[in-house]
Structure 1
Amino acid sequence: MKSVTLSLATVVIIFSLTNYTYLYCLQEGIHSSVEYYNRGVEKYRLCDYKGAITDFDSAIKINPTFIEAYRDRGLAKWMAGNPKGAIADYSKILEISPKSIEAYGYRGMIKYMSADYKGAITDYNKVLELNPKHPVIYNNRGLAKSKLGDQKGAIADFDTAIKIDPKYAEAYANRGLARAKLGEYEEAIADYDKAIRINPKLVEAYCNRAAAKDSIGDQNGAIADADKAIELNPNYADAYYNRASAKYNLGDYAGALADFETVIKLDPPRKTSLQQLIDSARAKAEKNAE
């Protein structure tokens, strides 16, 4: 059974919500809008996204050009499951401030998370026009290109991100993934090695390295990497899948079956796609037990 190389779970988030620092009234007449804004930030910190949105709404009603309120309302809408509303808020910021790198960056991130990869690339292109030295944006654009099947273009972007920031572990890991998708498993493993040296707790790098090692026949190495990924994140379904794949290829069908069943417990929607593998592992395990 050939393993599946798994992608990193998310695009790198570019900015954080105001770093949880509050604004203070510097001009007469906007005090109440700032108070609503600050209360919205606090509610966001407490994961009360609907409450945060209500307060940001109030801040914007009082001050319709309050960029920070639009920005953070966009994040709250995204977290509340309203990506279209979030994109609308970042588009509004760009009406107010057409050169806002934050707005293009956030909008690109949300488009990526909404599977609008072409739209994400367009926004990332605009960020790079405004700031050509932004490694995170090269990384994120590379992820979008990879999703569209442009692995060579993705690798070029990861190369640039690494050139700007040689300690960028996620960029190495993402370049490794793109190389694995091209069948360049040895090169991919080298990139995962670099990512792990920089950040020994980068769980996705271990998981993806496990898949690459399984693809070149190093099942024991794959199992060791999957073990490490599971140690770092015991609820990481992809790591159990990659370990199951390696065990299956090694002839440990009972072990593979146990891991496949764990995948389903952690991620029930995958049951249908895994059923054939589970049936095969169970049949072979029963035969070995005879």
Structure 2
Amino acid sequence: MGQGIGYCLIRYLKKYQWAASYYTLLLKMAPASSTMYINRSWAWLGARKFELAIKDCNQALALNGNMSMSYVNRSAALLGLKRYHEALQDANYAILLKGKGVAYYNRGMALMHLGEFERALLDFDRAIKQRPNLLDQYYVRAACSTKLKYYQAAIEDYTRLIKFDPRAWNAYHNRGIAYLSLNNIEQGLADLVACCQGDPKNIDHLLVLEWYQFCIDPQVTAERIEYFEHLALLVSEKVPGFHLHAGILYLLQGQYEAALNKFELYIDQGQFFSESGYFWSGMACAASGRYPEAHRMIDHALQQGLPPFFLNALALLNNEKHTAFIAQYRLK
């Protein structure tokens, strides 16, 4: 019954600190319980206190080295700390100990962040086979497919997510990008509009739709600059897209060095889909006449999976001196 209370606090009420305190009380009564340490580590994971989760997993392993969930939870904590090689090792141990689908999920996440997308995809397939109703697995498998340029597979996973939850606005967003990657412009636009209408406070949705508009109508106008200034009111510095948004605003205002600094900050955050940052960095470099750097940035963005459609935004560089540079990308 005690474990049932803790489970409810974590699983249903999301009261992670309460659950951790509850398991702390139980551990005072049963200090040699590896299960209680594992349960408390689960609470720490929910609270994003990864170091504490690792400490509890270590204690559980000291008491019983054959419990797969100790390795599963520790690998999850290591993922949270971006220590991917260590997370991979723990996930491997969990799988050897007959860990469940979550062990494959964790290993897939570690592999994906280490750039081993094909291997990660296989693990996500295994995880989904064991636990087909956990939606996060479809997101990461679709993200992995996108990195491999398996766009139709990504679309199918995002469509599954939307069927599970018609309000899965991030799935609409990502599916729209996948459609654009297949040059299905009409369906891509429909999905981008849907996510903006459904989740109008999400800056990432609004930015991508505006980027689309730049591709259709590549003009820098006072109205567009004013719109980006308005968007600034919606963005917190804690939001991953903050620096990307600020950089685009600086670029539109002609402040190219300031824009480049912001794009570099966005890239340095380690965003999984960092190709947007590289593209706009290339834009800022090209606008400054630094064409070799611009080529490297934009080519890297394409290698990382930037849909070629978005290259049409290069037409924003409407000064004649940029014509030869832009022509190399064969805008349509």
Are the structure 2 counterparts of residues 201 and 106 from structure 1 closer, same or farther at C-alpha, using a change threshold of 3 Å? farther
Aligned with 2:287 (options 277, 281, 285)? 277
**Shift, 1:123, TM fit:** 1.1
Question: 1:36·1:55 contact (CA, 8 Å) conserved in 2?
Answer: yes
Match of 2:121 in 1: 121
**Shift, 1:83, TM fit:** 0.8
In structure 1, distance between residues paired with 2:45 and 2:192: 35
Are the structure 2 counterparts of residues 111 and 222 from structure 1 closer, same or farther at C-alpha, using a change threshold of 3 Å? farther
1:135 aligns with 2:141: no
Question: 1:243·1:259 contact (CA, 8 Å) conserved in 2?
Answer: no
**Shift, 1:122, TM fit:** 0.6
Question: 1:59·1:69 contact (CA, 8 Å) conserved in 2?
Answer: yes
Aligned 1:230-241 pairs, distance under 5 A: 230-235=232-237, 236-241=242-247
Deviations 1:22-49 (A, max 9, x none): 45869x9773535655675677678664
Letter in 2 for 1:96: L
**Shift, 1:242, TM fit:** 4.3
- Gaps of at least 5 residues in structure 1 are 1-16, 248-253, 285-290
**Shift, 1:263, TM fit:** 2.0
Paired-residue identity, %: 21
Letter in 2 for 1:97: K
Are the structure 2 counterparts of residues 131 and 55 from structure 1 closer, same or farther at C-alpha, using a change threshold of 3 Å? closer
**Shift, 1:118, TM fit:** 1.2
Bigger drift between 35-44 and 78-87 goes to 35-44
**Shift, 1:234, TM fit:** 4.6
Question: 1:210·1:242 contact (CA, 8 Å) conserved in 2?
Answer: no
Q: Secondary structure at the match of 1:232?
A: coil
Structure-1-length-normalised TM-score: 0.71
Deviations 1:245-284 (A, max 9, x none): 6x3xxxxxx4463762562574487797443323489996
Aligned 1:1-290 pairs, distance under 5 A: 20=16, 21-22=19-20, 23=23, 31-34=32-35, 36-37=37-38, 49-50=50-51, 52-98=53-99, 100-217=100-217, 226-227=228-229, 230-235=232-237, 236-243=242-249, 247=252, 254-255=253-254, 257=256, 260-261=259-260, 263-264=262-263, 266-267=265-266, 273=282, 274-279=284-289
Are the structure 2 counterparts of residues 265 and 158 from structure 1 closer, same or farther at C-alpha, using a change threshold of 3 Å? closer
**Shift, 1:101, TM fit:** 2.1
Relative contact order (C-alpha < 8 Å, sep 6+): which is higher?
1
Are the structure 2 counterparts of residues 65 and 144 from structure 1 closer, same or farther at C-alpha, using a change threshold of 3 Å? same
In structure 2, distance between residues paired with 1:240 and 1:173: 21
Structure-2-length-normalised TM-score: 0.63
Root-mean-square deviation (CA), in Å?
A: 3.9
Q: Secondary structure at the match of 2:74?
A: helix
